Structure 1
Amino acid sequence: MPIVWTEDLGSSHAWRLRKGTMDGRPVFGKYGAVSPLFTSEAAGLRWLGPIAATVVSSGDGELVLEWIATEPPTRAAAERFGRELARTHLRGADAFGAPWPGFIAELPMPNEPAADWPAFYAADRVMPFVRRARLSSADARMIERAVARFAEVAGPAEPPSRIHGDLWSGNVLWSEGRAVLVDPAAHGGHRETDLAMLALFGAPYLDTILGAYREEAPLAEGWRDRVPLHQLHPLLVHVCLYGAAYRDALMGAVSRVLAL
């Protein structure tokens, strides 16, 4: 089959095939040396179910997905997305964590199960990236103070939700009147994490998404105040990937957590 589109993604490559399936549908593929990442991504997409892109095939060093023909988002599609995201979260998970290797972008992260979400968030999401981020000792100590408050400020305990885990707006593709999720860091987590990620870099029609979500699955009181708590991990990831440009945003979120 002819490769009609290719893009270098650093340690892996992506391509589009004009006829990638037996019935002639195009597909999107990744291949390269980061096979644990592809294994994790495939497992997460399958686990998330209909809201996520369909995995056509996966194997050592390769992941093939359905091709998503994108279009501009609409308010109606955003409302549908809010409801479908709520239903996905409500399908739940066996534990906080996941039985596959964790990745966000190309950074590995633990998925070891924990008894409750504050413990999981501290041990598997925040502290590993504090150690990786090369922060000043003063910044690291300030984050550790915030981590010590997680159980106090996390809100009412909830069972683990089936979350995407890296739900910034670039991982939401709009196609045929609905949203399709890609590039997950899927795991059993807190559903407010996905919503905070949507807010971090400005998802289109965010108020519509959140309104539809809350009609389908009401959120605990104080959820807006907890947005900075759930943004600590993605901001730490950005410091690890892109350096000091994200330090002020991270430490601002830490200050707001300490003020809760």
Structure 2
Amino acid sequence: MTFTKRDPHAAEGFYRTEAAGLRWLGAATADGGLPVAEVLEVTATSITLPRYPTAAPTPEQAREFGRRLALTHRAGAAHHGAPPPGLGDGFIATLPLPHLAESPSHWGDFYAGCRVEPFARAAADDGGLSRTGLDVVLRLCERLHHGDPALTGPEVPAARLHGDLWSGNVLWTTHGPLLIDPAAHGGHPETDLAMLALFGLPHLDLVLDAYTGTAPLPDGWADRAPLHQLHPLLVHAVLFGPSYGEQAVRAAEAAGALA
């Protein structure tokens, strides 16, 4: 059985970008990374995938997910902000997602310029973020652009990220976990982990324990979660309004209070 997502009004490249992201993430399975949904067919207006039988996740599957996510991340990317090979900018949900053709000076510069500022300004323009809230976020971006290590932690190599890793994009099948609907790019591994925590995931403590047992993270990584949650909250503020904008401001304030 198959499942087809179809939108006759999809933005140019929307489904082909999703397919390329799945294939790029899926290439990491050769080294133990997480499986992804197989792309059976992709057109300008649709993507067809298998219909996978699902089941409630077990503790062992959660540990498997954590271990294998660490190995997907370890597969790496050309640089922070890099798209899957052959692509330019991408999408997150239905929104354009900027990528970088060349390496930024550091991760914070990429994160501020391509993930936080564009969505903060769009949310403010659409009424999802107050002007006062926008000022809070932009002040944090100034520190990110300057590469404040007290804010970002130490610089790390670019990981191969899913990029939209909320619980709905983790499919628990009868054969184990697999990934769907990526916004794949090169970035900070803490970003995927923070998004799992933002909207909840079954057995998250086991997932994180298995992840860090496979790929230890810099000290303070859990405290930096609000910084990495700022982007998805701003995406939601653009799409769904000011309740998420208020959460984004609180995340920015929490992140800024670390130093």
TM bracket, shorter-chain basis: 0.7 to 0.9
Name the counterpart of 1:102: 90
Match in the other structure for 2:68 = 84
> Any stretches of 5+ residues in structure 1 without a counterpart?
1-25
User: For the residues of structure 1 that align with 2:79 and 2:110, how far apart are their CA atoms?
Assistant: 10
For 1:144-155, list aligned pairs within 5 A: 144-150=138-144, 151-152=147-148, 153-155=151-153
Where is the helix percentage greater, Structure 1 or Structure 2?
2
List structure 1 runs of 4+ shifted beyond 6 angstroms.
Answer: none
Q: Corresponding residue for 2:53? A: 69
2:15 is matched by which residue type in structure 1? F
Q: Residues 38 and 62 of structure 1 are in contact (CA less than 8 Å); yes or no, is this contact kept in structure 2?
A: yes
- Which of 16, 19, 31 is 2:6 aligned to? 31
- Does structure 1 conserve the Cα–Cα contact (< 8 Å) formed by 2:130 and 2:245? no
SS in 2 for 1:226: helix
Is residue 42 of structure 2 the alignment partner of residue 48 of structure 1?
no
Aligned match of 2:173: 175
- Structure 2 gaps of 5+ residues are 30-34
Corresponding pairs, count: 235
Q: Is the 8 A contact 1:77 1:177 kept in 2?
A: no
Residue 130 of structure 1 is aligned with which of 111, 117, 120?
A: 120
More displaced stretch, 187-196 vs 240-249: 240-249
Write out aligned runs for 1:95-244 (5 A). Answer: 95-97=79-81, 98=83, 99-113=87-101, 114-115=103-104, 116-134=106-124, 135-150=129-144, 151-152=147-148, 153-244=151-242
The range that moved more, 57-66 or 211-220, is 57-66
Q: Which residue of 1 aligns with 2:32?
A: none
CA distance in 1, matches of 2:135, 2:44: 41
Contact 1:74 1:177 in 2 (8 A): no
Give the TM-score normalised by structure 2: 0.88
CA apart distance, 1:136:
2.4
The CA distance in 2 between the partners of 1:245 and 1:144, in whole Å, is 19
For 2:75 and 2:221, the matched residues in 1 are separated by 20
The C-alpha deviation readout for 1:131-166, integer Å capped at 9, x for no partner, is: 110222211111011112222111111111000000
TM-score, length basis structure 1: 0.87
Q: Deviations over 1:15-51 (max 9, x none)?
A: xxxxxxxxxxx11112222152211110100000142
Q: Which structure's relative contact order is higher, taking Cα pairs within 8 Å and 6+ residues apart? A: 2
User: Which of the pair has more CA radius of gyration?
Assistant: 1
8 Å contact from structure 2 (residues 36, 178) kept in 1: yes
CA shift, 1:88, in A, is 0.2
